[in-house]
Amino acid sequence: MKKLRPLVLALPLLAAAPADDLAARAARIHREAIVVDTHEDVPDALAEKPADVAVRGATKHFDIPRAREGGLTAPFFAVYVPASHADGGAARVALDRIDMVQNVVAAHPADLTPALSVTDIRRAKREGKIAVLMGIEGGHAIDDSLGALRDFHRLGVRYMTLTHTNSNHWADSSGNFFAPRFEPGSYRVHHGLSGFGRAVVREMNRVGMMVDVSHVSDETIDDALEASRAPVFASHSSCRALAGLPRNLTDDQIRRIGAGGGVVMINVSSVFLDQGRVDAARAALDALQEPAERIRRQYPDDPKRAAVEINKLIEALPPRPSVPFTKVVDHIEHVMKVAGPDAVGLGTDFDGIPDPPAGLEDVSKLPRITEELLRRGHSEPEVRKVLGENFLRFFARVEEVSRSLAAEAPATDVLK
Ligand SMILES: [Zn+2]
């Protein structure tokens, strides 16, 4: 009896505090976990509006104080090269963005540290710092040069989306859904990857750059999965079964990416998460077709000016209403159901999206995902996998494949 008494006393406390208990458990797990976000458009936001990332509100979705609150260990800053620079200084734009990221990191040595590897990320966690990594967004950034690709790797770039919303000279894109007139067929230039595109993927494997299929067409995903000697991933895409955007992945794609050891990193844009938002966005954009046509007729010899004017129309659309953040966890669970608990992670697209969900407005809110996963009954190891361990396993495999190819000479393919 004597032994039982403390238990009896504790019972009313336990019964009264399940919610607090969950919050406390979530906070501990989140604090201890490595939290990776594979896509944040911080450089683009800073290019538009320069700010000190140590100051709260530096960009819409990121700064050091909020990253600390969110328990963020390792964001990948996107080295985004707009399609308008394809064949017009794309590599230079990428170089400028890389320089900017390096300057931002160097200016805050107490909080930020450059990172190039799984080891660097784990070390940053131990040292209580935020590991900043880089991924190129838009394969046109290499200006069709494998030498430039290798140089970008030397500068610290660790992944590249094979395209952005434009098809380039060697890979097809899923296109720009957010244009007034969206014709997926018009992006089918190579029916996937060209021969040179396959060489790009193989060279990425050799140097140890992760192959990213976010933004590419379905045919390009097929070809990338076939050509790649390492697993491939999607740095910021969600599930097409739940939100029918061409930018999202089909169940079959999710299954094949997962089966190869890759990961699907969930994009948190409301329109990427919810079919109602997809339909509403399409209807709003369709209504701009007429005015967009008028602009094109107005600038028949200046497509760039026309694009700028059409973009103003799109930006003037009323803001898309956000969906509840629990939808993010619906997508995480969908990937788990389709490809298993090892195939999913987070690629928020913060600072690249106008419509983060309610409750996940910026990086400071990331712990809510942990809390919701626990609330839905996911185990602590499963939660840690989603937050970062799945991605780290995938990244480690890419590093391993690169080491195994060390004897291979640099590829000399050129675009014909
Ligand atoms: Zn993107």
**DSSP assignment string, 41-100:** -HHHHHHHS---TTSTTSSSS--HHHHHHTT--EEEEEEE--GGGTTTTHHHHHHHHHHH
Choosing from 63, 144, 223, 349, the catalytic residue is 349
pLDDT at 320: 83
Alpha-carbon distances of 79 from 45, 63, 135, 223, rounded to whole Å: 11, 17, 6, 24
What is residue 19's predicted lDDT score, i.e. its pLDDT? 72
237 CA to middle of ligand 1, Å? 8
349 is annotated as an active-site residue: yes
CA 17 – ligand 1 centroid, Å: 42
> Residue 104 Cα, ligand 1 centroid: separation in angstroms?
21
Catalytic residue among 190, 215, 331, 378: 215
The residue with tokens 């890419």 is 398
Cα of 271 vs centre of ligand 1, distance in Å, is 13
- CA-based end-to-end distance of the chain: 85
Residue 39 annotated as catalytic? yes
Expressed in angstroms and rounded, the spacing between residue 106 Cα and the centre of ligand 1 is: 26
Tell how far the Cα of 39 is from the centroid of ligand 1, in angstroms: 8
Active site residue 127: no
Q: What is the pLDDT of residue 78?
A: 98
- 191 catalytic, yes or no? no
| Active-site entry in 37, 41, 144, 223 | 41
Q: Per-residue pLDDT tens, the chain, 416 aa: give them.
A: 444 444 444 444 444 457 778 989 999 999 999 999 999 999 999 999 999 999 999 999 999 999 999 999 999 999 999 999 999 999 999 999 999 999 999 999 999 999 999 999 999 999 999 999 999 999 999 999 999 999 999 999 999 999 999 999 999 999 999 999 999 999 999 999 999 999 999 999 999 999 999 999 999 999 999 999 999 999 999 999 999 999 999 999 999 999 999 999 999 999 999 999 999 999 999 999 999 999 999 999 998 899 899 999 998 998 888 999 999 999 999 999 999 999 999 999 999 999 999 999 999 999 999 999 999 999 999 999 999 999 999 999 999 999 999 999 999 999 98
Please provide the DSSP assignment of 317-342 as one string: SPPPPP-BTHHHHHHHHHHHHHH-TT
Q: Tell the residue number behind the tokens 């509403």, with chain if given.
A: 280
CA 304 / ligand 1 centre spacing (Å)? 21
Q: 305 alpha carbon to ligand 1 midpoint, in Å?
A: 23
d(CA 226, CA 208): 17
> Which helix (H) or strand (E) is 210 found in, with range?
strand 210-212
Question: Would you state the pLDDT for residue 4?
Answer: 45
**Residue 121 DSSP symbol:** H
108 a catalytic residue: no
Distances (CA, A) of 13 to 9, 26, 255, 375: 8, 19, 44, 19
- Report the separation in Å between the CA atom of 214 and the middle of ligand 1, taken as the mean of its atom positions: 7
Contact at 8 Å (CB) between 210 and 395?
yes
- In the annotation, is 30 catalytic? no
Would you state the pLDDT for residue 303? Answer: 87
355 is catalytic: no
- Nearest to 413, CA basis, from 81, 86, 148, 223: 148
Catalytic residue chosen out of the listed positions 236, 331, 334, 378: 236
CA of 393 to the centre of ligand 1 (A): 23
In whole angstroms, give the CA distance from residue 98 to residue 106: 12
> What pLDDT shows up at residue 54?
98
